[in-house]
Structure 1
């Protein structure tokens, strides 16, 4: 495939690029800058009140802003991106004591200033991160309403575009708003139109489409027709018209933290870091899981006793339901839950097989399940039936965050790929729980669990824990 270069196109490319800024871009950065400044001032005043010195109040705000700039917290690629944005803020906060130490050794030799600047980094982070979280939530709500989104053109083969559109649409609110596609195989345009997305032509029409549609971003998918020369020409055209030029990798569900560009003889190779699943790297998670679960058990001991009593009074049978589940590396353990069904529920399971809501996979879920008791229905909707699993977390069989603990019969049907779910401990909550639970198709639940295994980090765990509260309140998929 070749792209003809006309004199008109060459004139366009020789002009000074005029970046088509995202509508929310400038305002978002300004608010962040002001919020960071106020966070630094608040932290400085807090330290001044504790130690009675003014030097930190003068030095901290500009130093904090410089640290945020140095760690690119205001870059377009990080704004509104959640975990990546928070990670950059934390890196800047860690750099603050290092800058104070350098200033101490090279200039001031004032140990008090070094101490105050180091102590001030903690409240600065505690002020800055919640503000970013609130701003991001507000931005996501605006995107969900169709506001402040970037008009985007997709370029590539129909099959790849179908897969990408499916990923984008199941991911919830996001910035890219699909304006249309330019296909390398226009003969398959019907498949794209069935998704409600306009087909605006082929690759040769891309330049005219970009000018006419006024798009903010162009996403190009791999295709045999799009060789290095064609892609280079596309990037020049996009740069000349101030359009973001994005290349979509063939490998999906990879977090940005695992990607790094490694230039080799002028070729930008993308390195994908292997999943970080070593025992040493997961030691902080183990400590956090067991200690937090123990604290929660102490705080919830009395409410759990009340729930157990209500379960016993509501129907005959034990208060706790014990079931063999499969943990990390295929080890079996006894999982605990508050009983929500009649004692003969397993015997009745075969009679309800035709009502299974997850007939496309291995899970067995029935809405309006007649085996569920009156109290059990409430416990399931509120997720209170899961509380005894805190004991499993303390014992080390489970984690606070992880894939759903499967039954041995389910694991016997797993393919080699799905067995990757067993590389980590099952969780009390996880991506599938905060993304729809039993309403999710089996394939989607597997994709989320494998994505968690491959992209695990403490930041991801904390994000899931923060989302768990709202998921429990909504009760989506809890039955």
Structure 2
């Protein structure tokens, strides 16, 4: 396997710097610059309206943009990343008061200007974050329509490519990478790639021609036994010659970017994977927020829940609430509450419906158009209103607002050791499983999502899932 990088190619690279930079990226950066300038000007007007001073209006806009430049807020590698974009803005906002303090002590000695600059950082960061959120949503919609996406070449073994393509295709919303073709390190397995409907452009030695022919702007290389340091170095040179980004896919999947960090050791860049932080102290804010929000929602929804309970009792014989033993954190059992959606003899009829189970590849038991479900129960399930009594479980501390699906004891008994890892956190009223398709997902995918949530948990992830829950409920996907 050889990858040639000639001097003539290097000359071509020098003559066309940035030729593959997409026009939308330049427009996106320009819009960010203008928006940050307007955000700083708006913050300055707020300060003027409160304190009646104009000096900050002259100083704040250029200082704010410089702070954003220093913290790489306009770096195209962060476009569309969401949390990373926001963190860079926040870092710049923290640096602004420090910079203002230095200028105050070394140059101006104007305490009023120092006060104004520090105070203006708050409205400036608020405006900047709102603009970035709006631009991010617009960018995702653009990617979902197939516009502005990076033509991407995947290089590596067939099995790894199949797994990566599956992850890219099941991801929610528009994605930046658009797979344009594949170069295999094991061409004998080309049949697996053809099943995906993706162009097969040859082997690793054909990478240069593939990049040129398909107009590729990003190369993603997956781990392979034959890819030693020398081979990867030559591949990165080939990508650089063509002006394409060169990305290495990690061996471990489902690891959030926040857990990855490069640690140089004796000149060797090693990737550190931070262990999940599941200590009681780190999760204390989540506990407090869960119970406070659940209590508030119960107070607001008390009357509608009473009305639902009466309708359930009127529709069919039996109690309004369905109680069932479930397994919580660390394997502790608790009684989960739901509005009853089935006939009272539903458990007795389960064996008769086993052949209709939609999740025959795993431990879940789900049947579409289940004859045991009552008329009102069908509506409650589609709208997820049957889950509302679980707010009581959240207030009690048995469940969380966000977490893995609460499991039955008999399911847990069948779990292999790695799946029991999902019991390290409380089960949730909503979660990655719920907002990604619910019962339509195969068992293996549901497990992957739950384990990914446990390993990558953060307050930001919880808030993201909560924000997606509303649209998932409205779609009703997998709710049966």
TM-score tier after normalising by the smaller chain length:
over 0.9
* 1:122 partnered with 2:145: no
Q: Which residue of the partner structure matches residue 401 of structure 2?
A: 400
2:325 match: secondary structure: strand
Deviates more, 1:237-246 or 1:118-127: 118-127
State the match for 2:48 in structure 1: 48
Q: How far off its partner does 1:119 sit?
A: 3.8
CA separation in 1, counterparts of 2:371 and 2:49? 62
Please list the CA deviations of residues 291-330 of structure 1 after superposition, one character each: whole Å capped at 9, or x if unmatched: 1111212222222222222222222222221111111111
C-alpha distance in 1 between matches for 2:3 and 2:448: 38
Aligned twin of 1:132: 132
Task: Specify the alignment match of 2:356 in structure 1.
Answer: 355
Name the CA distance, whole Å, in 2 between partners of 1:170 and 1:251.
18
Higher mean alpha-carbon deviation, 67-76 vs 421-430, is at: 67-76
Partner of 2:281: 280
Task: Return the offset for 1:275.
Answer: 0.7
Q: How many residues matched?
A: 479
Q: Which moved more, 1:243-252 or 1:339-348?
A: 339-348
How does the TM-score come out when normalised to structure 2? 0.94
In structure 1, the partner of 2:462 is 461
Alpha-carbon deviation of 1:40?
2.5
**Residues 202 and 279 of structure 1: is their aligned pair in 2 closer, same or farther, counting only changes over 3 Å?**
same
Match of 1:436 in 2: 437
The equivalences for 1:200-349 within 5 A come to: 200-349=201-350
Tell me the alpha carbon deviations over residues 201-254 of structure 1, each in whole angstroms, 9 at most, x when there is no partner.
111111122222221111111222222122112212222221111111111111
Distance across 2 between alignment mates of 1:399 and 1:449:
14
Change (3 A) 1:381 1:206: same
Which residue does the alignment assign to 1:156?
A: 156
Deviates more, 1:96-105 or 1:353-362: 96-105
Q: What is the match of residue 479 of structure 2?
A: 478
Which shifted more, 31-40 or 321-330?
31-40
Please, what is the CA RMSD of the aligned residues? 2.0
Please tell me whether the aligned partners of residues 9 and 241 of structure 2 are also in contact (alpha carbons under 8 angstroms). no
Q: Which residue of 1 aligns with 2:89?
A: 89
Q: Structure 1: any 5+ residue segments left out of the alignment? A: none
CA 1:206–1:474: 2 relative to 1, 3 Å: same
Secondary structure in 2 matching 1:312: helix
Cα offset, 1:145, TM superposition: 1.8
Q: Is the 8 A contact 2:362 2:444 kept in 1?
A: yes
What is the alpha-carbon distance in structure 1 between the residues aligned to residue 445 and residue 319 of structure 2? 34
- Equivalent residue of 1:306, what SS? helix
Q: Does 2:50 match 1:18?
A: no
Secondary structure of the 2:152 match is: strand
Paired position in structure 1 for 2:380: 379
CA distance in 2, matches of 1:80, 1:41: 25
Once the 2 structures are TM-superposed, how far is the Cα of residue 106 of structure 1 from its aligned partner?
4.3
* Shift in CA distance, 293/120, structure 1 to aligned 2, threshold 3 Å: farther
Q: Is the 8 A contact 1:84 1:256 kept in 2?
A: no
CA distance change for structure 1 residues 62 and 428 in 2, over 3 Å: closer, same or farther? farther
Report deviation, 1:52. 3.2
Q: Is the 8 Å Cα contact of residues 17 and 241 (structure 1) preserved in structure 2? A: no
Rounded Cα–Cα distance in structure 2 between residues aligned with 1:25 and 1:13: 20
- How big is each residue's C-alpha offset from its partner over 1:42-75, in whole Å with a ceiling of 9 and x where there is no partner? 2332333233333443333333323322322221
SS at match of 1:77: helix
Q: Which runs of 5+ in 2 are unaligned?
A: none
Structure-1-length-normalised TM-score: 0.94
Counterpart of 1:65?
65
Shift of 1:361: 0.9
Q: Distance in 1 between matches of 2:241 and 2:441?
A: 43
Deviates further, 293-302 or 50-59: 50-59
